Amino acid sequence: MIELLLVGIGTGNPDHLTLQAIKALNTADIVLIPRKGDSKADLADLRRAICAEVLTNPATRIAEFDLPVRDSANPDYQAGVDAWHDAIAHVWKDTILAEIGPHGRVALLVWGDPSLYDSTLRIAGRIAGDLAVSVRVIPGITSLQALTAAHAIPINEIGAPFAVTTGRRLRDEGWPAGIDTVAVMLDGECSFRTVPPAGVTIWWGAYVGMADAITLSGPLAETAPRIVATRAEARARHGWIMDIYILRRA
């Protein structure tokens, strides 16, 4: 049987790994590291740096693979994501079989935590039909935790609910009903610009928890243009960006 260890690594800062995560990584036969092309080489480099810092078991090896690219032009968003996940699962399976065969322990380093807006668990389920697989999750720090820590704020007000959603849903469906606080992830379009800004405060962060962390906050009307400009500059400089924000209505 293949045992998959899905290890939450926070934002890529080695200090974000729990002791449980470090122990788990050192029990693996291989650690899979995806390559996302030259423009996102930093992402693989961060995973390599984590392994170099925390791996002490000489029997644990690194195995790298090229991550398939999602067809973002597909008008059917769900179908495009499903096809992408199928392609990733196929590459996982081929890499695992080539490296260790159908038996062993394989670790994958997951940004943030596998429980929150991450598809690693869904992809793992796709290879179960071809291999005997068990899955163990080692939780990590989510980008939402890193954001609230960076701004030193709580996510909710006393006794009040909050919602976690995506930029696409905020843009298409508007502010979720019945709540005053919204955390928004996976937003490449700066969808906060579609929100009526009166009385709204935003707390935004990119690369939160990392050495290059950027944070901005303030009234949405004043802060939105600064975020758009800062985000564009940072993305051009790094070739990629991971950002998240919280919106709260007075």
Looking at the structure, tell me whether residues 165 and 59 fall in a common domain: no
Q: Cα separation of 66 and 154, whole Å?
A: 38
Q: What does pTM read for this prediction?
A: 0.84
The residue type of 153 is I
- Residues 171-209 pLDDT 10s: 999 999 999 999 999 999 999 999 999 999 999 999 998
Which of 138, 157, 184 finishes a domain?
Answer: 138
Backbone φ, ψ for residue 14 (5° rounding): -55, -25
Looking at the structure, tell me whether residues 22 and 70 fall in a common domain: yes
What six digits make up the tokens of 48? 């390599």
CATH classification of the domain holding 51 = 3.40.1010.10
Whole-number Cα distances in Å, 187 to 84, 110, 131, 156, 206: 19, 19, 34, 21, 12
Q: Is the pLDDT of residue 39 over 70?
A: no
Nearest to 34 by CA among 213, 243, 249, 240: 240
Nearest to 34 by CA among 104, 84, 102: 84
- Residues 75-94 pLDDT 10s: 888 888 889 999 999 999 99
Looking at the structure, tell me whether residues 170 and 231 fall in a common domain: yes
Which of 122, 138, 154 finishes a domain?
Answer: 138
If one counts the domains in the chain, the total is 2
Q: Which SS3 state, helix, strand or coil, does residue 81 take?
A: helix
Predicted pLDDT of residue 201: 98
Q: Report, as an integer, the average pLDDT of 52-67.
A: 94
What six digits make up the tokens of 166? 């995506």
Residue 140 near residue 5 (C-beta atoms within 8 A): no
Looking at the structure, tell me whether residues 109 and 41 fall in a common domain: yes
Residue predicted with more confidence, 118 or 224: 224
Alpha helix (H) ranges present in the chain?
Answer: 19-25, 41-54, 77-100, 120-127, 143-151, 167-173, 220-238
User: Percent of the chain having pLDDT more than 70?
Assistant: 100
